[in-house]
Amino acid sequence: MAGGAGGPGGPGGAGGAAGRQAAAWAAQRGLLVRAPPAGTSAPAPPPGGGGGGGGGPLLLVPAPLALAPAPFPRAAFEGALALARPLNALVEAVSGDPDYLARTLAPAAAHDEFAHRLLRLHEEVRQRRGDAWLGARALGIHRSDYLLDEPSGRLLQVELNTIASSFGALASRAAGLHRALAGRFPELGVSDPDTVPENPALEAIARALAVAQEAHPATDGLVLFVVQPGEGNVFDQELLREQLWVQHGVRSERRTLAEVADEAELDAEGRVSLGGESVAVVYYRAGYSPEDYPSESEWGARLTLELSDAFKCPSIQYHLAGAKKVQQDLARPGGVEGFLAAGDAAAVRECFAGLWSLDDPGDADAAAALARARAAPDDFVLKPQREGGGNNLYGEALAARLEQPEGLGAFILMQRIRPPAGRSVLLRGGEASEEEVVSELGVYSTYVRSGGAVLLDCPAGHLLRTKVASSDEGGVAAGFAVIDSPRLV
Ligand SMILES: Nc1ncnc2c1ncn2[C@@H]1O[C@H](COP(=O)(O)OP(=O)(O)O)[C@@H](O)[C@H]1O
Ligand SMILES: [Mg+2]
């Protein structure tokens, strides 16, 4: 529904004066995304090529936003921040155990060509460089996503992203916008703007990239942003690039994998360069989806970068550690406990939802969950080994897929989390609409290690995404959700 006086936007329509102000203030903060082509809600096609974004006009519109920050329990928010370092440690430990990764991902790889390809890449890099070399440097920019589960009152992890954990920069700017709007427009119902926490994601993510760049032996090396052609979320990246330059004096370049294939040079010592300039850090904002590899040359580009001595965010082993299959395996009894000290393992396990494998006929617990899923498909989510939104199966589609045993090992079965619904005015494509909504919290964490020296290990801001309650999926880039901020209650 659109319009509708008397909602949180106050008189004069769902957005009202605050909605009109929000559009201007969003633009001033760089809270922008590329305009979708006329008549669609999808991201625009490539403007004639390059990750540099050149070639066509860059038409920008305000990013999809919530008008007023959503209430979120303070204890749950703080609990999620406290998991940042244990999750950093978990990714380090899991990524450092190649046999575990190979064993755990094998059932998924047997049925999923993309998972298989990523595992093979890992194997090839190990064979050509050796495990010690692979583990010499680490750069993590993770985002752990959570939903509040209303029936249990617990904050449950949806997934842990180790690759292309996006929207940190825009989320930082949204916090500033929401604080400003809340103070200016009392009808938004935020009595104290300080209940909307400042969000350091932009600074913290740029800092991680800069710390890695500084730790790399190449003096004045570049940070290479590996991006999708025609990326819609350009400003989330450009804000980071500006921060890198202005705060840290670090230069960066954006390239697609196809451009990397053409331009990157790898020397015998493993140093990679672009147009003669050393690359110190590779920051993947692409490469997580099969569509990112339309031909062998993109795979070749990924291999070149993995074989290089640059800090990779993520390295192939960090990438694999973020797989949904790994998430499910860590939730098995003794899973996470095998990788973390007891206290951290217990804290992390606290946020695990029910997760089951579909490839182990001997697992009685999984068999029972499968029977329940057949009887009540709405209580479960079926997830393939994919990232980026729009891939999960729910309800009838889930039930139908469960009836085809072939290839089920590529999926994990997950308890459906039931977040509490609220009401919010969503600003999308110049329209305001008041909706019944649910919110998903993401917490960023950053980690930099050079050899044995841990240079950074901390929480790094947050992202609240709010979506219409009736929508199953939650991605902003995928068009399902808007950027929001928590108002701590
Ligand atoms: N167990 C779950 N219960 C309820 N909603 C879920 C669950 N898992 C995923 N979702 C919804 O689907 C979206 C996409 O799932 P996610 O696991 O994050 O995959 P992706 O890697 O595609 O982002 C989430 O943002 C969330 O809104
Ligand atoms: Mg997700």
252 domain-assigned? yes
Percentage of the chain beyond pLDDT 90 is: 85
Q: What is the mean pLDDT of residues 329-340?
A: 98
In this structure, the answer to whether residues 225 and 323 fall within a common structural domain is yes
How much is the pLDDT for 46? Answer: 39
* Same-domain pairing of 297 and 403: no
Query: Which CATH number covers residue 385?
Result: 3.30.1490.50
Q: What's the pLDDT score for residue 13?
A: 66
Q: Does 145 sit in the ligand 1 pocket, CB within 6 Å?
A: yes
Q: Is residue 446 part of a domain?
A: yes
- pLDDT given for residue 40 in this prediction: 58
Q: What is the pLDDT of residue 41?
A: 55
- Residue 1 inside a domain? The answer is no
From the candidates 123, 124, 159, 187, give the one annotated as an active-site residue: 159
Which atom in ligand 1 lies closest to the alpha carbon of residue 390? 22
| Count of structural domains, the chain | 2
Do 476 and 369 fall into the same domain? no
237 in the same domain as 171 = yes
Residue closest to 356 by CA, chosen among 343, 346, 347, 365: 365
59 within a domain of the structure (yes/no): no
Which residue, by CA, sits nearest to atom 9 of ligand 1? 158
Where is pLDDT greater, at 352 or 10?
352
Asked whether residue 368 is assigned to any structural domain, the reply reads yes
Please work out whether the CB of residue 73 comes within 6 Å of at least one atom of ligand 1: no
Question: Does residue 414 have its Cβ closer than 6 Å to ligand 1?
Answer: yes
**Same domain membership, residue 252 and residue 344:** yes
For 180-236, the pLDDT digits (tens) are: 999 999 999 999 999 999 999 999 999 999 999 999 999 999 999 999 998 989 999
For residue range 62-120, list pLDDT tens digits in order: 999 999 999 999 999 999 999 999 999 999 999 999 999 999 999 999 999 999 999 99
Do 231 and 121 lie in one domain? The reply is yes
316 lines ligand 1 (CB under 6 A): no
**If pLDDT is split at 50, 70 and 90, which confidence band does 38 have?**
low
272/288 same-domain check: yes
The average pLDDT across 454-459 equals 98
Q: Whose CA is nearest to atom 25 of ligand 1?
A: 474
pTM of the model as a whole: 0.94
Active site residue 470: no
Are both 348 and 201 inside the same structural domain? yes
Catalytic residue among 143, 254, 285, 449: 143
- Residue 213 is predicted with a pLDDT of 98
Whether the per-residue pLDDT at 356 is higher than 90: the answer is yes
Residue 59 pLDDT class (50, 70, 90 cuts): confident
280 and 386 belong to one structural domain:
no
Is pLDDT larger for residue 34 or for residue 379? 379
260: confidence class by pLDDT, cuts 50, 70, 90: very high
- Residue 26 maps to a domain: no
158 lines ligand 1 (CB under 6 A): yes
CATH number at residue 263: 3.40.50.1760
What residues make up the domain containing 365?
Answer: 356-416
In a domain, 200, yes or no: yes
Whether residue 363 sits in one domain with residue 331: no
Residue 387 a catalytic site member = yes
Same-domain status, 372 and 441: no
Q: Give domain status of residue 80, yes or no.
A: yes
257 and 404 both lie in a single domain = no
Return mean pLDDT, the chain: 92
What is the predicted pLDDT for the residue at 429?
Answer: 83
